[in-house]
Structure 1
Amino acid sequence: MLNIAVLVSGGGTNLQALIDAQNRGEIPNGKISLVVSSRPDAYALERAQKAGIAAKVLRRKEFAQQTAYDDALLQILAENQTGLVILAGFMTIISERIIHAYENKMINIHPSLIPSFCGEGFYGLRVHEAALARGVKVTGATVHFVNEVCDGGPIILQKAVEIQAGDTPETLQRRVMEQAEWHLLPKAAALFCAGRLQVENGRVNIREAAE
């Protein structure tokens, strides 16, 4: 059973999707055992409390140096014996030191079909504003491993979502969450915890399930 740490900054809707999937038995080889928030007022902390999951608050601005913050985060993850780190709307920059410590053991959800509308500056509603401004007909979400390049890690899963006439950034954001993000993230976690994800030459191979 792998311990999963979920890093959050806001409402925690993707955290809730993971908790719900776990409660339905859809992540049989993993357990969400820790939630780390970058903000003390994040509603995600209440979701963790209601689910009986240990939670910590770690604010970057309370550390004078990046190395001190990294030390604290690494210690928290080590104490939890973390096998998988999930970034679920985590708005604090993850340093290369943390990324290397959890190489191919840290995943992120991004609200577009990478490589479209991703990278520096593309987060939250900005992603959906850009998609609508460009006039694309299809968007979606991507789960990927985290590496040194923003939104540039190996892609694990993607799901397309059609853009509808009259969409606003807010309605599109909600539909992408409901139709893609909340399904992809638990599925990727389950695949990882089952040992079915293999990274080779920058690409993710999904192994067949053992019979």
Structure 2
Amino acid sequence: MTPEPPGRRRSGPSSYQPGIAPDVWNALGLKAGDVFVDLGCGPGDYALDAAKRVGPHGAVLALDTWKRVLGELHADARRANLTTILPVRADIAASLPVAAQRVDACLLAMVLHMPGRTTHLGLMLDEVRRVLKPGGRLGILEHAGHVQLPEGHPARRLTPEWFTTAAESHGFSRLELMELDGSWLLLLAAATP
């Protein structure tokens, strides 16, 4: 019997894809003892998976504005005895509640195509760079289909190339672009100061 994906039993949409998650973790270099931030975590499926990977000496910060799903994530983490997950209500397009240079890896999984998310992309990238350790990694996971944006948006479509240009102007360098079962993962590294 195939296990039910974590997000199916909770409210809120989940972008978690169990078939590609190991590729995402490998690309981010996520390992035991790391500090990981799931930006726009939704029901927290990536956060739950990451907590198992970073183990008891690591930490997972799961950020979202949706109070109900954060409460459900907290309960799921307790049931699974994953004590290293900290669900926090926060707007990822504002100042992040994380100390500078404390994080090994961050993930934006199926978040940036949502309405209004790219409006404050510069601030978001600056904040992610601030919290990442020098050389820390940011993964942007999005649908492979080109998402059409509203009239007047600076980009007509969200593409890895558009994100690369935006990220490079905020102190990131592109490491890799991976095609993953209908999605793409853009891997970026925070520049060293």
TM score, norm. by length of structure 2: 0.45
Q: Which has the larger radius of gyration?
A: 1
TM score, norm. by length of structure 1: 0.42
Structure showing greater relative contact order (alpha-carbon pairs closer than 8 Å, 6 or more residues apart): 1
* Structure in which a larger fraction of residues adopt helix: 1
